[in-house]
Amino acid sequence: MSATIIDGKAFSAKIRGRVAEEVAALKRDHGLVPGLAVVLVGADPASEVYVRSKGRKTVEAGMESFEHRLPAETTEADLLALVEKLNTDPAVHGILVQLPLPKHMNADAVINAIDPAKDVDGFHISNVGLLGTGQKAMVPCTPLGCLMMLRDHLGDMSGKEAVVIGRSNIVGKPMAHLLLGESCTVSIAHSRTKDIEEVVRRADIVIAAVGRPGMVKGAWIKPGATVIDVGINRIDAGDGKTRLVGDVDFDEAREVAGAITPVPGGVGPMTIACLLANTVTAACRANGLPEPEGLTV
Ligand SMILES: Nc1nc2c(c(=O)[nH]1)N[C@@H](CN(C=O)c1ccc(C(=O)N[C@@H](CCC(=O)O)C(=O)O)cc1)CN2
Ligand SMILES: [Mg+2]
């Protein structure tokens, strides 16, 4: 059996199209233009690429993009002052501080300084608490993208066994809460999990988010399972070049799984589409307008 490939690139383009329609309607009916501010501190090459892509896709969807690029030596106080300015700017509905931040900064303090209503990354402690208690939150973009793909592919997930491999605040933990919200039976596996292969082999849904290239082997996968690979690992391709691989051994797993996301072209593009979706949701909430359907949970 060879798995269905879940095409995140095509699906993310569909979501971005939906976002653009909603933005056009907000402009037409309410004179409202959603605005997203992205803050990049320093010059990490991967972050540069992501921030550029976020700005371009924000504009393509008809929204306003505000890019703030600060030098790596920026003090935390100066970054907090910028966040405070964006918090009170009525043209800004979403604020995102690109991670990782330089080592001298306390990322938690910076994230928790963002107005939770504008926290389109869903990383603020208030949004974490809302999601964890099943209340309306801003949902982190990568797990939201994974959930959208799962809903699209599987429909009802009630009663299914789901395993999240990885316990990060950005992906693993929020993903587990989202799957609980779908009435899955959820396990979180991590570096200290005993018999991890056995835990994964029970799962109808596998979310791999550990940051270890090819760690999840084909033999770990239950036949027919749906596999979502969040890993984005750049490895040596042997010819002086590098290539991107996920946390799942794709060639092995595709022979066993029922469906699988590729890397690249799976979860990654959904992250940015969900960021745009969250910005529209934030703009609607800030203006007391109904939230567009299908853009959040
Ligand atoms: N504030 C945030 N920082 C970071 C986040 C985040 O959600 N919020 N996530 C990652 C980086 N990221 C977005 O910021 C991101 C990563 C990867 C992709 C993507 O589309 N990947 C492509 C491959 C791209 C390539 O060739 O390098 C894919 O998987 O197909 C989008 C966004 C950390 N920081
Ligand atoms: Mg992400």
Give the Å distance between the CA of 64 and the centre of ligand 1. Answer: 20
Rounded to an integer, the average pLDDT of 274-290 is 98
Beta bridge partners of 81: none
ipTM: 0.94
> At 283, is the pLDDT very low, low, confident or very high (cuts 50, 70, 90)?
very high
In this predicted structure, the answer to whether residue 1 has a pLDDT above a threshold of 90 is: no
- Supply 276's token pair: 């745009």
pLDDT value of position 6 = 98
pLDDT value of position 99 = 98
Rounded to an integer, the average pLDDT of 173-200 is 98
- CA–CA separation, 262 and 254 (whole Å): 10
- Domains assigned to the chain: 30-117 (3.40.50.10860), 141-267 (3.40.50.720)
Furthest CA-CA distance within the chain: 56
In this predicted structure, the answer to whether residue 168 has a pLDDT above a threshold of 80 is: yes
Q: Is residue 270 within 8 Å of residue 251, measured between CB atoms?
A: no
Q: What is the DSSP letter of 234?
A: E
Residues with CB under 6 A from ligand 1: 50, 96-99, 121, 141-142, 232, 244, 263-265, 268-269, 271-272
pLDDT value of position 289 = 98
Beta bridge partners of 227: 206, 260
- Ligand 1 pocket: which of 98, 112, 138 to mutate (most atoms within 8 A of CB): 98
pLDDT tens string 97-114: 999 999 999 999 999 999
pLDDT tens string 216-230: 999 999 999 999 999
Q: Is 168 annotated as a binding residue?
A: yes
Residue nearest to atom 33 of ligand 1 (CA): 99
- pTM, two decimal places: 0.97
Q: Is residue 214 within 8 Å of residue 245, measured between CB atoms?
A: yes
Instruction: Quickly count: other Cβ atoms within 10 Å of residue 47's Cβ.
Output: 16
pLDDT value of position 211 = 96
Sequence letter at residue 182 = E
Sequence letter at residue 4 = T
Above pLDDT 90, what percent of the chain?
100
- CA–CA separation, 222 and 218 (whole Å): 9
Determine the atom of ligand 1 nearest the C-alpha atom of 121: 8
Q: Which are the catalytic amino acids?
A: 54, 98, 121
Q: Is residue 84 within 8 Å of residue 109, measured between CB atoms?
A: no
pLDDT tens string 24-80: 999 999 999 999 999 999 999 999 999 999 999 999 999 999 999 999 999 999 999
Above pLDDT 70, what percent of the chain?
100
